[in-house]
Structure 1
């Protein structure tokens, strides 16, 4: 007996491809009108990414060899730049670590470094109203596994603009104040220098805390969809997922997560940039058993496959691969690999000579491993793809900058 039509779940009717293309073009044009999220490093924004920064409305993965020393710095630099460029922008940071730990300290240092690069002196950049205003617009959430991440992301898409859950109600400024209070010794009346460096010296009297923002403004910031969603230490979440669930169930959960991340980046009014910070794993050494070659979208241009009959590359030239490989890459629209390489020829030679007099110097190469969406230029047709584009950068003063200073307009002198 047939089931009544009213109780059946019919699949959606097919739509013409022209209509879908028009919707996608309108969406990407609207995201482009908001401007890219710049990192502040010209080599990365203009040469590697071509469009002046990371496009909004997409999911970007950053696999860094030094996850805290470089990957987190780069992610927070993009986030802070978006907050300083738009006074109404907000951001969401999700981490499996306690909010008062490494990430909160890196966020404060990133705000101070970015404001200093924009001409604000150090005294004003640390703990002053402008920096606190940025902290007030950053929502922090601590999760323990992928289920916790799902709960945080589900509230971004909640109907009616419902307030965020208790896990993300505290802003970065509130978490920073709580962390400073926890570190303050109760038995000593002498003031100490906090991480925010608000005091000029240990002997100076403590400054009064800055006034809290009005409750209405804080509630409005909490309801406003974020412009940047940053998930730190994503590899730790993947590790716990594959530890707690069967392999097939874990892959199904990741497919659903990838679809939801793309849905959020494309459907929220703010067209948020979603940043997933991943780690890397070392490639097998020359004496290890042979393994299948890496997929082209996981292989660095500095780590080409060995030619038949040729020896394996030197250890100094072996690159790392992203943790979880294709499992992580399936979530992304754009994938950046950040790995250290010797700065010059002499440094590469020093790596292979343990008894070298001088320690080798390194730079971090940021290259595009995967670019599924291409660079949108305002119309359909051929899209510029940025795969295998790379630039050498370094971390100086808490910011990612060009690794090789040269006169403005001069072409890079780097060769593979």
Structure 2
């Protein structure tokens, strides 16, 4: 519609298909040139254009009014946060809720899986704090600024020099409202052209990042994939978009987005629970081991642990720690034993009704594609860890004790033993 408004290009199905093909062609070039060159450069270009366009509107528009509106809008948002979040207009139904709020929520949910994986890949080496600031706080602040600059300027002009023309354009054809808005600012042709370029690059960066993530998933996590495979996923994305456009136009694309969002909403709740459990387990591990020894930390940075490393650690540190606790229990008259199990060793203390069991096992996991510790030639690397668990919490509650010293392992065993003792009683060993 922007091309039709600016250059008179008719908005037909044929022109829309050509536009999809052009966007996917640019996305293909971006994907083939790689993450650091193609995708990164386009994203930086997009950011520069967006900041320049917003800065121009801020300076060319009612600057003082906009700065006041920014502060007031932020305050109103905080004041009405819970009301706006939970108000679904049940007693006064409005089309706005379905056409805008719910639609965009569904849109963001549908995009979240691949966007999340892409952000995780480019955020390698960042701390959780840096990730939260860079992914949540900075974009939210930029969105506040963007909506205030463009939204409040449009309202200011519409109530002033435009005399309602901008709101009429919104009612007639929403897609032309942005270009009607630029007519009341200096340099209309330049700003409108920049807006079209910004929209196109936004589409390209969305398509290339989506193709990269799908390609990585299909390749089992490998980042270095054949060229034809990357081209295949780019083409398939374009074909799917074109078919949906031909089948039902923009409404078909929107319907497909809404349908895809529902199952992902459930998955996102499960992911949130998984994130909580992961952070909690990490916090418990940090509390147990305040600071890993220098050489252990350096070794983890340089290379992932191998199976034989963990098995050797069980013999050198794990088994002696369990045996020390067993001997102490025996001295107190408690029946206890050490048993070898597949991949590890366990301490058993006889209890009335339920035994106390503390296990140490070697466990492997594939390193994520965005990990700093990667296998050569794009293969998935395996990292072996020493994990502890007790029957009280089950295998799902296993946690990492790779960096524990023997004394720290003994302390951890005694902590779990004290927890078990609050609900069970020991059985004395036979004389």
Q: TM-score, normalised by structure 2?
A: 0.19
Which of the pair is proportionally richer in strand?
A: 1
State the structure with bigger RCO (CA 8 A, min sep 6), 1 or 2.
Answer: 1
Higher helix share: 2
Larger Rg computed on CA atoms: 2
